[in-house]
Structure 1
């Protein structure tokens, strides 16, 4: 390698090290798609059901769509995918008539002016049947919309205290992408949901895919779970390079935490259990206190201060 090539390589490496996770992700997607200057489209997916403790994941993705006025561009409502005794259709009244709303997975598209990515958001109920066909259907829609990468969002019940920062984890099955984003490769073994199936299938198809999960305290796992939703929204900000208005969700998270505090005070067994979880959390290393977490928080601050074009 010549001195000039070595210098260029070192400069590229330094630039990568100094860039944010969102910039590295967008650059990787452009390179993988063979378009250095274009805006890659990222599909962000969350499903209600087994993958969505406290409704945190689906709420976070819907908030993303609301923030950027995403428009409906498609839907999957094949009745072969759903058990209507488990996921029942709903009746709804309009100004002129009543209608039946059938379970469906909906696709919304939006372009974020200040980000380096366009978004294709997928929300719905986890299908009951024909998962392989459903997965193929989702990836076919991804190809039609020229999706360059996928982010799968989930929430799980865990032994974590409600009074501490909600843990969140990012992972990528592709070792090169995991290394680039400084995230883990998945290590979980056991039963999985449609989110896990989609993540694996996307990897097999050569589509860059990142999984994002938040842990919801299992003793208050019912929906809503605004504190977990808030954590997922902040992680999506960092990964996608977008800025979200989280003030309302943050207020709801504070109220939720105070409400759980009051419930714990009324039950000595729960109060003692929460105290043990807090002690276990406080004695372990908190990723929220790392230098990288502080840097991400500063990046969010700068994005919110960015003047409109």
Structure 2
């Protein structure tokens, strides 16, 4: 394997980065249900003070043909080219506490080398803990709090916050591999997988980003400004509820998800929050179809955050 240090360039002088900080990570490109990772990363960069610590080599890690960057065609010329970025930032939370944020695209190539590079940076800055977030679509109702599945070696967080503990093969992402390597080094690490209503998976669901921030706060003690997200979340849910109330069939389907969710949370001997007593997936395609029509008709009510 080539030298992992060749994958990144340190931008900020090492003396300017305090040692012993928490590292928070979220990478986009795979199953970002509710745009949770995209939203929480953009929200932090938009609202908190930050500096670039290290920048990763995009050309070495990105498959441009599968994830093409954007460029603006302005009548007769091109402008505003927006290349992909993968960076480590030095951030300050709302109370001025410093932490590190690794965010950007999930690498398409060289996962082992990328993992080794991240571990180098963790060692270089003597990172205290590593916390990462991810989100997946699940047949759960939007009328209940977003649950999380927690992994890693911080058992106090797993025991107190993880509502679903499956035993199953899952498609891995790059942060899974980093967590796996860190576990073997006994480095304190935790991953939060947000369980987002799958009929809202293709929207920018503010409460998904809020749950990501709340989970990170629980793991690190960091404080984030979330009032704007909370207000956006209330408005979003109010509009969804309005659509559900006006459609008896949709209301019935959401109620079915509520019953199954509540049964699971009451320790009903069901195999998972996904299935009913017969092991069948609840039918939520109708929910997705109805809400897709609703959101398409009111797209202006949901501006990008």
TM-score by length of 2: 0.70
- Retained in 1: the 8 A contact 2:26–2:132? yes
Q: 1:216 aligns with which of 185, 196, 199?
A: 196
1:232 deviation in Å? Answer: 1.7
- Retained in 1: the 8 A contact 2:136–2:195? yes
Q: 2:84 aligns with which of 103, 107, 127?
A: 103
Partner-residue secondary structure (3-state), 1:47: strand
Q: 1:129 aligns with which of 69, 93, 109?
A: 109
Partner-residue secondary structure (3-state), 2:204: coil
1:224 deviation in Å? Answer: 0.6
1:92 deviation in Å? Answer: 6.1
1:110 deviation in Å? Answer: 2.3
| Compared CA separation, residues 151 and 133, structure 1 to 2 (3 A) | same
Count of residues in Structure 1 that have an aligned counterpart in Structure 2: 243
Which residue is equivalent to 2:124? Answer: 144
Partner-residue secondary structure (3-state), 2:136: strand
**Any unmatched runs of 5+ in structure 1?**
1-37, 288-309
Provide the rounded CA distance (Å) in 1 between the counterparts of 2:121 and 2:39.
22
| Compared CA separation, residues 189 and 165, structure 1 to 2 (3 A) | same
Provide the rounded CA distance (Å) in 2 between the counterparts of 1:228 and 1:180.
19
| Compared CA separation, residues 134 and 263, structure 1 to 2 (3 A) | farther
**Any unmatched runs of 5+ in structure 2?**
1-17, 268-305
Q: Deviations over 1:141-191 (max 9, x none)?
A: 22233322210111111111011111123332x3xx315874568844322
Which residue is equivalent to 1:16? Answer: none
Partner-residue secondary structure (3-state), 2:100: strand
Q: 1:231 aligns with which of 211, 221, 224?
A: 211
Provide the rounded CA distance (Å) in 1 between the counterparts of 2:189 and 2:200.
30
- Retained in 1: the 8 A contact 2:19–2:127? no
1:69 deviation in Å? Answer: 0.7
- Retained in 1: the 8 A contact 2:37–2:134? yes
Matched, 1:206 2:192: no
Aligned pairs (5 A) from 1:1-309: 40-91=20-71, 98=79, 100-112=81-93, 114=95, 118-172=98-152, 174=153, 177-179=154-156, 182-183=159-160, 187-265=167-245, 268-285=248-265
Provide the rounded CA distance (Å) in 1 between the counterparts of 2:94 and 2:177.
32
- Retained in 1: the 8 A contact 2:92–2:98? yes
Question: Which range is displaced more, 254-263 or 272-281?
Answer: 254-263
Provide the rounded CA distance (Å) in 1 between the counterparts of 2:146 and 2:102.
24
| Compared CA separation, residues 179 and 266, structure 1 to 2 (3 A) | closer
| Compared CA separation, residues 78 and 169, structure 1 to 2 (3 A) | same
- Retained in 2: the 8 A contact 1:75–1:106? yes
- Retained in 1: the 8 A contact 2:24–2:216? no
| Compared CA separation, residues 191 and 265, structure 1 to 2 (3 A) | same
Partner-residue secondary structure (3-state), 1:147: coil
| Compared CA separation, residues 83 and 180, structure 1 to 2 (3 A) | closer
- Retained in 1: the 8 A contact 2:27–2:37? yes
